[in-house]
Structure 1
Amino acid sequence: MRSISFWLLLGFAALSGCKTTPYDKATIYYERGEFPEQLIKDYPMLSSPILQHGRCSLIISTPGSNTGTYYFCTYALTANGLYVQGWDAKTLKYVEIVRVDLSELKKISFYSFFRTSQLQLIEDRRLMALSVSIDEGGYIDSAATERLFQAIKQTGVPVVESKGMINPPAPSAPMIIPIVLPRS
């Protein structure tokens, strides 16, 4: 009995000390110092200097909707556009998720709720909600998201009031089917 409780205690101690890697950090490669050089290598057409960059999460939807497709990503802001890309671990390159020409944006808005914030970019047929994450991944960096909003706002894009949070699709819920066995 004493050895079982010892092993249980040891098991709980080991499990409580374990740290897991945030999912976004595990799926999107990002090193702040190397990022601009790597991105220019992967996007030779990117000629203007990168003003801001970082790790992010992106939801792509249609205007008037409050839910859309969810991506872990990195972003790079230049004077003319916002480049959002994923990471292809097979080819060791960034792959484009979306490119936003700042002159094509119709409106932008900023939504904040507790520690969560979103920069909402509205085009004619597309709505994007971008949240900047800390470099280590796993947590939204509200201050960096607001700095990105302010930088895009300074380009002259009209600012509108946000209609609320844009959400990723709801996870599938397990279906519970009761099984009734008659007594015999």
Structure 2
Amino acid sequence: MQTLKLLLPLCLTTLLSACNTTSYDKATIYYDRTQFPSQIVKDVPDLNTPITQHGRCSVIVSTPGSTTGPYYFCTYALTSTGLYVQGWDAKQMKYTEIARVDLAALRTVSLYSFLKNKQVQLTEERRQLALSAMIDEGGYIDGDATVRLFDAIRSKGVKVVESDGAVKPPAPAGPVYVPLIIPQVKR
């Protein structure tokens, strides 16, 4: 019992010291809603049409028909002609392009929805993007913003198809266990 009284505070301290108060996407992607339109125009000079929607996001880039691909935290800017998806380069303090989608070149768009998880799936000839809008503070999917993005793209006349399911990032590598066999030496 005495050991339990000593171990309990130690265990609680260890568990609480591992808490992370800032979500990883907020820590790695700079996004200020009020300044974003003026900042992105400086970093992406080709963006010369008015931005209709923008926000924080996560995107998976893959090939058409694939259900997995590299995962990025990002920001997006939707215009009347295209969708711009950027990462953040903290060393140069500017946005870097992850993908640029010409809405006229899109073959299909679909919306995957399961509970609060929503994903806009954009398919081009040789690329597929699965994008989920995030809340401004990061850490959680903003289902309403994702649906608004889907509706805006659909309204441009892009063909809507049924989603085949979620596009997911690759599974993380698991630990490798190497069994050690130590023969017993009889004396």
Deviation per CA, 1:89-122, whole angstroms, max 9, x where unpaired? 0110001111001001011000011221110000
Query: Following superposition of structure 1 onto structure 2, how do residues 93-112 of structure 1 map, counting pairs within 5 Å?
Result: 93-112=94-113
Identity %: 60
Q: Does 1:20 align with 2:55?
A: no
User: Given residue 100 of structure 2, which amino acid in structure 1 is its aligned partner?
Assistant: R
Unaligned segments of structure 1, at least 5 residues: none
Query: Following superposition of structure 1 onto structure 2, how do residues 94-173 of structure 1 map, counting pairs within 5 Å?
Result: 94-173=95-174
The more displaced of 36-45 and 118-127 is 36-45
User: Matches of 1:7 and 1:163 in 2, distance apart?
Assistant: 49
Equivalent residue number for residue 175 of structure 2: 174
User: Matches of 1:6 and 1:41 in 2, distance apart?
Assistant: 57
Deviation per CA, 1:64-85, whole angstroms, max 9, x where unpaired? 1111111110000001100000
Query: Following superposition of structure 1 onto structure 2, how do residues 27-38 of structure 1 map, counting pairs within 5 Å?
Result: 27-38=28-39
Q: Secondary structure at the match of 1:84?
A: strand
Relative to the length of structure 2, the TM-score reads: 0.90
User: Matches of 1:52 and 1:40 in 2, distance apart?
Assistant: 14
Q: What count of residue pairs does the alignment treat as equivalent? A: 184
Unaligned segments of structure 2, at least 5 residues: none
Summarize the Cα distance change of 1:13–1:70 in structure 2 as closer, same or farther, 3 Å threshold: same
Summarize the Cα distance change of 1:14–1:175 in structure 2 as closer, same or farther, 3 Å threshold: closer
Q: Does 1:74 align with 2:75?
A: yes
Shift of 1:175: 1.1
Relative to the length of structure 1, the TM-score reads: 0.91
Give the alignment's Cα RMSD to 1 decimal.
Answer: 2.1
User: Given residue 9 of structure 1, which amino acid in structure 2 is its aligned partner?
Assistant: P
